[in-house]
């Protein structure tokens, strides 16, 4: 049985691929990328059908962050010309959220720059959550406020939050190269706090920061162990004025392979195409809907995204449908097991037999006899910089202009 058939069978059983298999997906050639998409698409459709969940970001507080995350336009020392403003009032945030919900979003993600919230900040966000929930029946609210202190996750849950986002971003082994003002362990701790409080955990990664295939597999395996219900896959937006401004490492085909690998490792979890899809997937975005079952609608935190109507047209033209508020996102075995918006079984994204991160064997295509899709390892590509596709957000939250939704 070849590699892709093996991965499909494992995905339908929620069985963890081997590290060699995950690395082999990333090592496939551009000639085989449609075969990879077709295989991972079978797993996606098995667990999520043809539904696409829409999420909408509201940046509650922009810029002036004391952390030094190299990828972030809001970081300490950033000279990127982004919007900078302090906390939106609850009614302002609720008004901003309404635009996304009117465009078909099912979940509102409330984000604030900073190391982590003070107790007063948690009060502010709690008031915002209540305002949004009172005005919009069936809406899900996810908070993303940085590192949590003891008891804060419980307070957000009591205010009506459904989920909490805190991404791992990259592998533990390379985390110190990206950020020095907090640790990988700090991020893991916050995801665990969200889980323990009964919030649905949302945690993902950023691809394109110069990481190796092994780093990508490491972080995705670590995410599977943490058992989030949602895994956002961000593709680095190289903002001028940040340390990673020159990192243009992604091609559309590379992005598709990364999304496929995430789907195979976390088959029954909401995989979301997040920041950077317009910059790096470009005209291949519709293909990515065969891998991910969730996207952000409209603009991002500090950058402009594709027009909301274009998102909806893309979904319809690709033969998918927008998920409604009356539909449950996660498969029944996760959605009915309690704990936030999905289950937190000890098995995580499936069964963890033999999971761990294992060693860092030089896997490549491994020994997939009869596989066909591996062949010779592809020649490394250098992506052309597309600075023309990086646009700073100048509308929506924090401005007097209508949002893009």
Question: H helices of 28-89, where?
Answer: 33-48
**Distance of CA 64 to CAs 6, 74, 79, 82, 114, Å?**
48, 6, 11, 10, 8
Q: Is 272 a catalytic residue?
A: yes
Contacts of residue 284, defined as CB under 8 A and 6 or more positions apart, other chains included, come to: 252, 253, 255, 256
Cα 23 off chain centre by: 20
List 202, 255, 365, 374, catalytic entry: 202
Instruction: Return d(Cα 265, Cα 26) in angstroms, integer.
Output: 12
Cα 269 to the center of its chain, rounded Å: 11
Query: Among residues 14, 19, 44, 72, which one is catalytic?
Result: 72
- Reported as half-sphere exposure (CB side, CA atoms, 13 A), residue 37 has a value of 19
Nearest of 17, 16, 15, 13 to residue 3 by alpha carbon = 17
Q: Is 349 a catalytic residue?
A: no
Quick check: is 144 catalytic? no
Helix (H, G, I), strand (E, B) or coil at 300: coil
124 as an active site residue: the answer is no
> Active site residue: 75, 109, 255, 374, which one?
109
Q: What number of other Cβ atoms are within 10 A of residue 379's Cβ?
A: 7
Catalytic residue of the set 75, 124, 142, 357 = 142
The active-site residue out of 19, 272, 277, 334 is: 272
Among this protein's residues, is 374 annotated catalytic?
no
202 carries an active-site annotation: yes
Active site residue 107: no
- Count how many residues are written for the chain: 405
- Which of these is catalytic: 19, 69, 124, 365? 69
* Positions marked catalytic: 65, 69, 72, 109, 142, 202, 272
């Amino acid at each position: 049985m070849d590699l892709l058939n093996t991965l499909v069978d494992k995905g339908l059983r929620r069985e963890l691929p081997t590290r060699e298999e995950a690395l082999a997906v990333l090592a496939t050639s551009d000639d085989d990328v449609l075969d990879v998409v077709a295989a991972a698409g079978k797993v996606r459709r098995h667990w999520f059908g043809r539904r696409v969940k829409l999420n909408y970001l509201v940046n509650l507080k922009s810029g002036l962050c004391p952390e030094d995350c190299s990828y972030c336009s809001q970081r300490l020392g950033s000279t990127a010309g982004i919007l900078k403003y302090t906390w939106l009032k609850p009614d302002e945030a609720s008004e901003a959220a309404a635009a996304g919900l009117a465009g078909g979003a099912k979940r509102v993600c409330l984000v604030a720059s900073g190391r982590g919230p003070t107790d007063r900040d948690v009060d502010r966000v709690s008031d915002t959550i209540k305002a949004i929930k009172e005005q919009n029946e069936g809406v899900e609210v996810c908070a993303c406020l940085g590192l949590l202190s003891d008891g804060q996750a419980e307070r957000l849950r009591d205010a009506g939050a459904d989920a909490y986002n805190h991404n791992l971003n990259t592998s533990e082994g390379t985390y110190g190269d990206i950020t020095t003002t907090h640790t990988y362990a700090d991020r893991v701790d916050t995801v665990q706090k969200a889980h323990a409080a009964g919030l649905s955990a949302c945690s993902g990664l950023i691809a394109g920061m110069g990481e190796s295939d092994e780093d990508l597999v490491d972080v995705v395996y670590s995410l599977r162990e943490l058992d989030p219900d949602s895994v956002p896959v961000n593709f680095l937006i190289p903002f001028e004025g940040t340390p990673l401004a020159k990192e243009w490492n992604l091609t559309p085909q590379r992005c598709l392979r990364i999304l496929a690998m995430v789907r195979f490792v976390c088959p029954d979890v909401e995989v979301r195409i997040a920041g950077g899809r317009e910059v790096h997937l470009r005209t291949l975005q519709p293909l990515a809907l065969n891998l991910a079952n969730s996207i952000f609608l409209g603009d991002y935190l500090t950058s402009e995204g594709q027009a909301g109507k274009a998102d909806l047209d893309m979904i319809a033209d690709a033969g998918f449908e927008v998920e409604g508020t009356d539909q449950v996102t996660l498969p029944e075995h996760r959605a009915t097991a309690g704990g936030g918006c999905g289950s937190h079984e000890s098995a995580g994204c499936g069964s963890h037999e033999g999971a761990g991160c294992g060693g860092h064997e030089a896997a490549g295509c491994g020994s997939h006899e009869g596989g066909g899709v591996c062949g010779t390892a592809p020649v490394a590509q250098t992506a052309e910089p597309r600075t023309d596709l990086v646009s700073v957000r100048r509308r929506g939250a924090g401005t007097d202009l209508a949002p893009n939704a």
